[in-house]
């Protein structure tokens, strides 16, 4: 399939920059944080083992007093990617990273209102497609009491599809054929996932160099993608159904392409479900959504901190594509610990690594843990 091939122009970049600081309206998947919304969000990343997201009786005994939303749950309220600013029609956008700060928990029945605005536009050279433009956007999430619960910066890289095809950076990447031994290891690692839960992880017990028990996601399949899109974030740009899709394509023609086999307009978002669409931007197979992998990394952290800890900040970049059939191991290591502003803080390197041994999403996390000394 051939997608529209627009160009990055000086005029287009200038138009993008003129939008910096302007607020955009947001169509949220939901705004009231119900028990169902929280459970669906956890289901969308395959986090079935943490009772804090789904067991009310269990959650009442924690310091929160009720079920709370996982940190990635806010994606369903405002999908912070840097893509909503429009501009540069026919120039592809890859969600490429997120920088999150969580301030207070989101509880059942909270009403969350997001704001969204682009904050910067940066031009740079890309190994993947030569000239590129990075669009940074900011989201601030507030609850019904006008408290800020979280802040995030998300960014997308805009590249010319034709240039990406010519460079062919991923031309040698193929579907991975698993051996029985490899599949056995994946199953064993999934079985060995650990959720700290109600057992406190005290700051004093953490050692620099300590490694996290990996969280395993994959091999990635179409069902994983559909679960994430339906349960965790809802319809993305141009992926609505029937009349909603037609309305979106009319307003934003560049968010679609014509399928050469059927002649039907399809959403550019099909790069996440159809190999033929992905090939139009020089990717060998359909691939995951960046925030999906970021959510897996968030899960790796919430598994580790436990109920008495708090994932405060996470910075993550998406460096390589995670195509169908790939498996990702979310790994981490403690790099530092300190006391700052009365909080007992742990710094970590955390990343996603595929079956080829490639780090596809490097990140850094900041966790606040309980202290034995402080509890005396």
- Measured CA to CA in angstroms, residue 168 lies from 127, 270, 300 at distances of 10, 20, 33
* pLDDT tier, 170 (very low <50, low <70, confident <90, very high otherwise): confident
Predicted local distance difference test score (pLDDT) of residue 82: 86
Taking only the tens place, the pLDDT of each residue in 121-144 is: 999 876 665 688 999 999 999 999
Say how far apart CA 260 and CA 277 lie, in whole Å.
Answer: 11
Say how far apart CA 71 and CA 33 lie, in whole Å.
Answer: 13
Bridge partners (DSSP) listed for residue 344: 339
Are 137 and 119 a contacting pair, CB within 8 Å?
A: yes
Domain boundaries, the chain: 10-375
Write out the CATH class of domain 10-375.
Answer: alpha beta
Calculate mean pLDDT across residues 230-257. Answer: 72
Secondary structure (DSSP) of 96-152: EEEEEEE-S--BTT-B-EEEEEEEEEEEEEETTTEEEEEEEEEEEEE-TTS-EEEEE
> Which of 198, 180, 196, 177 is CA-nearest to residue 188?
180
Lowest-pLDDT range, 229-238, 276-285, 349-358? 229-238
Question: Left (φ > 0), alpha (ψ -120 to 50) or beta: where does 88 sit?
Answer: left
User: What rounded mean pLDDT belongs to the chain?
Assistant: 90
Sign of the dihedral defined by the CA atoms of residues 50, 55, 59, 61, in that order: negative
- State yes or no: pLDDT of 334 exceeds 90: yes
Q: What H or E segment, with its residue span, contains residue 10?
A: helix 10-18
The DSSP call for residue 20 is T
* pLDDT tier, 242 (very low <50, low <70, confident <90, very high otherwise): confident
Tell the residue number behind the tokens 């606040």, with chain if given.
368
- State yes or no: pLDDT of 237 exceeds 70: no
């Amino acid at each position: 399939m051939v997608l529209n091939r627009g160009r990055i122009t000086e005029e287009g970049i200038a138009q993008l920059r003129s939008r910096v600081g302007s607020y955009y309206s947001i169509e949220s998947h939901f705004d009231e944080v119900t028990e169902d919304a929280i459970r669906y969000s956890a289901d969308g990343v395959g986090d079935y083992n943490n009772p804090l997201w789904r067991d009310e009786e269990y959650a009442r005994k924690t310091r929160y007093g009720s079920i709370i939303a996982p940190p990635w749950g806010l994606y369903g309220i405002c999908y912070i990617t840097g893509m909503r600013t429009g501009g540069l029609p026919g120039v592809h956008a890859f969600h490429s990273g997120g920088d999150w700060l969580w301030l207070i928990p989101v509880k059942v029945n909270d009403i969350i209102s997001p704001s969204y605005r682009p904050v910067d536009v940066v031009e740079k050279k890309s190994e993947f497609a030569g000239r590129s433009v990075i669009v940074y956007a900011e989201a601030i999430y507030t609850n019904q009491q006008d408290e800020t619960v979280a802040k995030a910066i998300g960014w997308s890289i805009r590249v010319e599809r034709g240039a990406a095809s010519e460079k062919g950076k991923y031309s040698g990447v193929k579907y991975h054929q698993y051996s029985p031994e490899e599949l056995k290891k994946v199953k064993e690692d999934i079985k060995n996932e650990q959720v700290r839960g109600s057992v406190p992880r005290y700051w004093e017990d953490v050692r620099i160099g300590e490694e996290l028990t990996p969280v395993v996601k994959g091999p990635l399949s179409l069902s994983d993608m559909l679960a994430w899109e339906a349960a965790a974030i809802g319809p993305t740009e141009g992926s609505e159904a029937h009349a909603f899709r037609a309305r979106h394509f009319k307003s934003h023609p560049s968010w679609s392409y014509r399928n050469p086999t059927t002649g039907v307009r399809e959403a550019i978002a099909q790069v996440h479900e159809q190999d033929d669409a992905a090939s139009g931007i020089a990717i060998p197979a359909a691939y995951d959504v960046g925030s999906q992998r970021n959510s897996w990394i968030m899960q790796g952290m919430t598994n580790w901190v436990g109920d008495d800890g708090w994932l405060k900040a996470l910075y993550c970049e998406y460096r390589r594509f995670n195509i169908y059939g790939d498996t990702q191991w979310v790994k981490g290591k403690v790099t530092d610990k300190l006391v700052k502003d009365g909080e007992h803080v742990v710094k970590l390197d955390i990343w996603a690594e595929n079956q080829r041994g490639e780090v596809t999403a490097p990140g850094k996390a900041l966790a606040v843990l309980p202290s034995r000394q402080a509890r005396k």
